């Protein structure tokens, strides 16, 4: 699209006077001038030349507005804009961000869990939203200064930011909204004639949000339940069977739910995650509420017309819809005596599975590539192995199951390829995946190194490890720690520096990876770690006395003295 300035009634003479009157640049983030179009040097032009320059360039007008009329508002809300990073720290909570300038109830929009909603209360909030989109592109898509075409390409390809507007718009509002479209930001027009009861469905459709299942058809508080008793049992096995479901006994409190899948090539160890994931699948795809207890599953439902056969049919269908499995045999047993006779063999199967999990050889299993974070970080990816789980805290088995057994495209298996450096954890297959998923921004990754080609960090790491050159040691801070490290860093300042980047000396890691035998083996592993926050050390049950926390060191001097004591 093109933007004709004559259509908006903007006073370019007044805008030019505002630019010429600037003795110094506003003390605020000038993201439009830095990344989209730069008019900061135009203040040296003559008035007539400046007006003609603005008249022929809509992006220059937007940049000039950032320096003049909108500067006070942007400065006033700059601190709030800096707080946008925490929105990306939690998986499954955020997928895109949306600006709303319409008459719909705000509570309705805030109810959608996979969107970060910003409401437009002034003309300059439209400009603030462009700022947020630029911050996202710079942080997660490696946008470089002066790259307006690249910014447009990123917006069109990933559609991270959307705007809901409701006519009529005045000249300035129309201008900024049209510039948004010019920059590839999707603009959705809301029709106020849509009945209020249809607003929710309209938003879901426009923002591509999956409808969440209702917890109750009738809205009653009464419910029925089965399972969860001391005699109940739940297991997923790779033992074949006949596709379908079977129910034995009369529905009661005790429940044995035995699910046999027929794919013999699936490792039995993956069924541990499948057991957990089926609970999520049932809750998401049906009106049955499932709760996983130690060795059993509790099912609850509100519809009194649901029979035992209905439960079996629903669970079987949920599993078939979620997983790519040819044979799923769902066996529901309500007979307490029959359940008691099966408990021993099923618990034995689970114990053997746990032993197999501990004994498996990581080098014989494929890498998994996960790019689930690409919804807000186009170049985000994780190369995952048994001994190097992703920094968000998910497990290798979870991602391997999703890659091999579901219809999703966020996870996939890759060949390890030739091992270039085993100690650093560099493989040709991982390097190839890094180049592909980062669009060439990352060419090499070392899975177990911190200072040389470390793995890129997403925005949702459980912990961040970083290297201190002065002491030749590593510090680790977890996301729940609100204090400072001995050298004054916080988790948020570290995250702001490293999220979406491959930055030597800084690395997002999970808590499970810290306990892995391969943990940063190229850097010396846990023996090189000299500081971590006390809550993390306590969770990991680390009793290393040479590992300081904030209880021993709150500044560099105390840290230096602590290290000197242990070096002796």
Residue 493 lies in a domain: yes
Tell me, yes or no, if the pTM score tops 0.75.
Answer: no
Pairing type for strands 411-414 and 367-370 reads antiparallel
Same-domain status, 373 and 326 = no
Residue 216 lies in a domain: no
Q: What is the 3-state secondary structure (H, E, C) of 180-192?
A: HHHCCCEEEECCC
Write the CATH number for 482.
3.40.1470.10
Same-domain status, 161 and 310 = no
Same-domain status, 299 and 436 = no
| Cα–Cα distance, 319 to 311 (Å, whole number) | 12
Same-domain status, 391 and 430 = yes
| 25: phi then psi, degrees, rounded to nearest 5 | -70, 150
Residue 218 lies in a domain: no
Same-domain status, 315 and 417 = no
Residue 554 lies in a domain: yes
Residue 217 lies in a domain: no
Q: How far is CA 480 from CA 39, 142, 156, 383, 508, in A?
A: 42, 27, 35, 25, 14
Same-domain status, 173 and 240 = no
**In the structure, how many helices (H) and strands (E) does the chain have?**
20, 20
Same-domain status, 345 and 370 = no
Q: Please give the order of strands across the beta sheet that includes 161-165.
A: 115-119, 96-101, 161-165, 186-189
Q: How many of the other CB atoms lie within 10 Å of CB of 396?
A: 22
- Structural domain ending residue among the three candidates 359, 387, 416: 359
Same-domain status, 195 and 242 = no
Domain range for 540:
364-567
Same-domain status, 167 and 240 = no
Q: What is the pLDDT along the chain (568 residues), one digit of tens a residue?
A: 556 676 788 889 899 999 998 888 888 889 999 999 999 999 889 999 998 889 888 999 999 999 998 888 888 887 655 566 666 555 444 457 788 888 888 777 765 545 577 888 888 999 999 998 898 888 777 788 988 888 998 888 878 888 999 888 888 999 999 999 999 999 999 988 888 888 878 887 887 765 543 333 434 446 788 998 999 999 999 887 889 999 999 898 999 999 998 866 677 778 888 888 899 889 888 888 898 888 899 998 887 888 999 999 999 999 998 888 889 999 999 999 999 999 999 999 999 988 888 888 888 888 999 988 876 677 788 999 999 999 988 889 889 888 888 888 889 999 999 999 999 999 999 999 999 988 888 999 999 999 999 999 987 889 999 999 999 999 999 988 989 999 999 998 898 888 888 999 999 999 999 999 999 999 999 999 999 999 999 999 998 888 999 999 989 999 999 988 876 5
Same-domain status, 292 and 324 = yes
Residue indicated by tokens 């898509």: 141
């Amino acid at each position: 699209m093109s933007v004709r300035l004559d259509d908006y009634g903007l006073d370019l003479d007044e805008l030019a006077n505002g630019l010429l009157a600037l003795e110094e640049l506003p003390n605020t983030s000038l993201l439009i001038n830095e990344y989209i179009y730069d008019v900061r040097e135009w203040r040296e032009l003559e008035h007539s030349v400046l007006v003609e320059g603005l008249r022929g360039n809509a992006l220059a007008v937007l940049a000039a507005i950032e320096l003049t009329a909108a500067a006070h508002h942007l400065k006033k809300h700059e601190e709030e804009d800096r707080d946008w990073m925490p929105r990306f720290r939690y998986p499954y909570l955020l997928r895109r961000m949306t600006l709303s300038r319409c008459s719909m109830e705000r509570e309705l929009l805030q109810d959608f869990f996979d969107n970060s909603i910003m409401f437009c209360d002034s003309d300059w909030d439209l400009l603030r939203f462009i700022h947020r989109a630029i911050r996202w592109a710079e942080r997660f898509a490696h946008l470089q200064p002066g790259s307006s075409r690249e910014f447009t390409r990123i917006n069109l390809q990933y559609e991270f930011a959307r705007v809901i507007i409701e006519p009529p718009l005045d000249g300035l509002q129309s201008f900024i909204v049209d510039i948004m479209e010019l920059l590839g930001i999707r603009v959705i027009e809301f029709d106020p004639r849509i009945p209020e009861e249809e607003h929710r469905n309209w938003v879901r459709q426009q923002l591509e949000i999956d409808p969440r299942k209702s917890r109750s058809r009738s809205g009653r508080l009464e419910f029925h339940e089965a399972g969860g008793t001391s005699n109940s049992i739940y297991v997923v096995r790779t033992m074949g069977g006949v596709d379908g479901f079977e129910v034995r006994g009369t529905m009661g409190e005790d429940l044995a739910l035995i699910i046999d899948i027929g794919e013999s090539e699936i490792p039995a160890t993956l069924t541990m995650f499948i057991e957990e994931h089926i609970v999520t699948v049932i809750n998401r795809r049906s009106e049955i509420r499932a709760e996983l207890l130690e060795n059993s599953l509790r099912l609850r439902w509100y519809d009194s017309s649901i029979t035992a056969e209905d439960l079996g049919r629903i669970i079987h269908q949920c599993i078939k819809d979620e997983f790519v499995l040819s044979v799923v045999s769902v066996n529901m047993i309500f007979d307490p005596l029959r359940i008691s006779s099966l408990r021993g063999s099923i618990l034995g199967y689970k114990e053997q599975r746990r032993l197999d999990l501990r004994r498996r050889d990581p080098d014989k299993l494929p890498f998994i590539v996960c790019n689930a974070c690409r919804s807000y970080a186009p170049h985000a990816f994780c190369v995952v192995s048994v001994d190097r789980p992703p920094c968000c805290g998910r497990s290798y088995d979870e991602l391997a199951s999703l890659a091999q057994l579901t219809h999703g495209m966020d996870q996939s298996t890759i060949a390890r390829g030739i091992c270039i450096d085993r100690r650093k954890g560099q493989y040709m297959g991982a390097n190839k995946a890094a180049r592909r998923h980062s669009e060439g921004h990352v060419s090499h990754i070392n899975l177990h190194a911190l200072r040389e080609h470390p793995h890129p960090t997403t925005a949702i790491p459980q912990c961040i490890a970083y290297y201190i050159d002065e002491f030749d040691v590593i510090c680790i801070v977890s996301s729940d720690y609100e204090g400072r490290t001995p050298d004054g860093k916080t988790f948020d300042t570290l995250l702001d520096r490293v999220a979406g980047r491959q930055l030597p000396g800084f690395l997002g890691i999970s808590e499970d990876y810290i306990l892995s035998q391969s943990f940063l083996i190229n850097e010396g592993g846990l023996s090189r770690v000299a500081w971590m926050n006390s809550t993390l050390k306590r969770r990991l049950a680390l009793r290393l006395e040479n590992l300081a926390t904030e209880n021993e060191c709150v500044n560099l001097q105390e840290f230096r003295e602590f290290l000197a004591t242990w070096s002796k």
